[in-house]
């Protein structure tokens, strides 16, 4: 049958309703027990930070730290073994891409529940523009990401210090240009600054498109626990497709934080004066532009075209539930008290 709007009206068959006081009491007790479990309690004698800015700062710091540890660790393994290992490099460019993909995935897993796991100032900026992150939190996120990347680079140098020293003895160089590439990105000799900037803009645009698609609940909406793995695969795909020009930094913190560290750790001015100071700014500026373009592209082609709630409601059939509540024979238990209804209220009755 149809209503006056011409929409289908579905009348469900008669059903029976059984409500008991005992059931309601059990439900209330279960809800209370659940709430008690999720209450935040101090761990031992260490109080938890109540300031949300501190919590999110720590989460972004640790997540970015993990990103650098695994990602740049994979690069260090390839670079330092290339000329010192008798059998050649123990890994290759493919392993670096896999390493960075897993690095991002685990970093997001660690930080995601607290801060969202941005790990990237360009991503945080795009989320702020999209009103998915408060503007006053943006400096907190960015500072945590840059510091986390700097500290991660320091730990990489500490772990690989002997390997780096051995590499320098074999090659006869101290803090050479090749080992600087363990920490930050550097362009191929043929790459112009304009092409490098376009590379960073386009790569980060792809990254932002993928992140927005994976986190848009109106889209394919994968399970929340799977999203970090998918973002990691996205990073790997970008690296395999666009990593040759300059190592696909597509993350200002991942590049500038380690670059500052190497300038302080013995590599001198080279990390900044390469190409007469006409490179270091590209992996910083390019990703910010690319992330903003990616956000605009996603909104224009996908995000602004979802049907509104009113449109969905108009296209749905009108469902009328006809429910007749009648006394039902309950299980043999004294805790059930059936309710018999009139047209507007429920009243208790005895079981027969």
Where exactly are the structural domains of the chain? 52-302
Is there a contact between 121 and 288 (Cβ–Cβ < 8 Å)? Answer: yes
**% the chain with pLDDT above 70:** 74
Cβ neighbours for 63, distance < 8 A, ≥ 6 positions apart: 107, 108, 110, 111, 112, 115, 117, 118, 119, 148
CATH architecture label of 52-302: Up-down Bundle (1.20)
**Beta partners for 162?**
none
d(CA 77, CA 44): 39
Cβ atoms of residues 222 and 230 within 8 Å: yes
Taking the C-alpha atoms of residue 106 and residue 108, their distance in angstroms, rounded to an integer, is 5
Do 74 and 33 contact (CB within 8 A), yes or no?
Answer: no
Residue 257: what pLDDT?
98
> In angstroms, rounded to a whole number, what is the distance separating the alpha carbons of residues 32 and 27?
9
The pLDDT value given to residue 48:
75
Burial of 228 (0-12, 13-18, 19+ CB in 10 A): buried
pLDDT of residue 224: 87
How confident is the model at residue 56, as a pLDDT?
96
- Opening angle at CA 229, ends 219 and 233, nearest 5: 90
User: CA-to-CA distance for 55 and 214, rounded, in angstroms?
Assistant: 25
Residues 6+ apart with CB under 8 A from 250: 120, 122, 200, 203, 204, 207, 238, 283, 287, 290
pLDDT at 155: 98
Low pLDDT (below 50) residues in the chain:
7, 9-21, 38-39, 42-43, 47, 336, 339-352
pLDDT score for 76: 95
Identify the CA nearest to 72 among candidates 184, 238, 229, 163.
Answer: 184
Half-sphere exposure of 327 (CA within 13 A, CB side): 11
DSSP 57-115: HHHHHHHHHHHHHHHHHHHHHHHHHHTTSTT--SS-HHHHHHHHHHHHHHHHHHHHHHH
pLDDT on residue 9: 47
H or E element in which residue 348 lies: strand 346-348
So what's the pLDDT on residue 93?
Answer: 87
Q: Read off the DSSP letter of residue 132.
A: S
> Is-above-0.85 flag for pTM?
no
């Amino acid at each position: 049958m149809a209503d006056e709007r011409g929409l289908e009206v579905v009348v469900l068959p008669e059903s029976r309703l059984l409500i008991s006081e005992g059931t309601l009491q059990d439900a209330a007790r279960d809800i209370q027990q659940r709430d008690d479990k999720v209450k935040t309690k101090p761990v031992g004698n260490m109080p938890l930070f109540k300031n949300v800015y501190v919590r999110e700062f720590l989460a972004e710091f640790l997540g970015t730290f993990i990103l650098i540890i695994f990602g740049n660790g994979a690069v260090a393994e390839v670079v330092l073994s290339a000329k010192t290992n008798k059998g050649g490099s123990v890994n290759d460019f493919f392993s670096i891409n896999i390493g960075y993909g897993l690095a991002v995935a685990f970093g997001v897993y660690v930080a995601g529940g607290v801060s969202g796991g941005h790990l990237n100032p360009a991503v945080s900026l795009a989320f702020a523009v999209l009103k998915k992150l408060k503007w006053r939190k943006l400096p907190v996120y960015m500072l945590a990401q840059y510091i986390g990347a700097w500290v991660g680079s320091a730990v990489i140098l500490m772990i690989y210090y002997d390997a780096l020293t051995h590499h320098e003895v074999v090659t006869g160089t101290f803090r050479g240009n090749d080992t600087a590439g363990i920490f930050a990105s550097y362009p191929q000799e043929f790459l112009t600054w304009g092409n490098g900037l376009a590379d960073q803009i386009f790569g980060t645009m792809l990254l932002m498109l993928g992140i927005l698609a994976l986190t848009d609940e109106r889209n394919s909406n994968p399970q929340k626990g799977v999203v970090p793995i998918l973002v990691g695969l996205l990073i790997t795909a970008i690296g395999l497709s666009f990593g040759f020009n300059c190592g696909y930094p597509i993350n200002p913190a991942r590049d500038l934080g380690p670059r500052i560290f190497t300038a302080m750790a013995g590599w001198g001015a080279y990390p900044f004066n390469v190409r007469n100071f006409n490179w270091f700014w590209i992996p910083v500026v390019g990703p910010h532009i690319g992330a903003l373009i990616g956000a605009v592209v996603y909104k224009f082609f996908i995000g602004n075209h979802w049907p509104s709630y009113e449109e969905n409601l108009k296209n749905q059939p009108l469902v009328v539930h006809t429910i007749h509540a009648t006394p039902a024979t309950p299980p043999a238990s004294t805790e059930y008290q059936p309710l018999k209804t009139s047209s507007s209220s429920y009243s208790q009755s005895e079981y027969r």
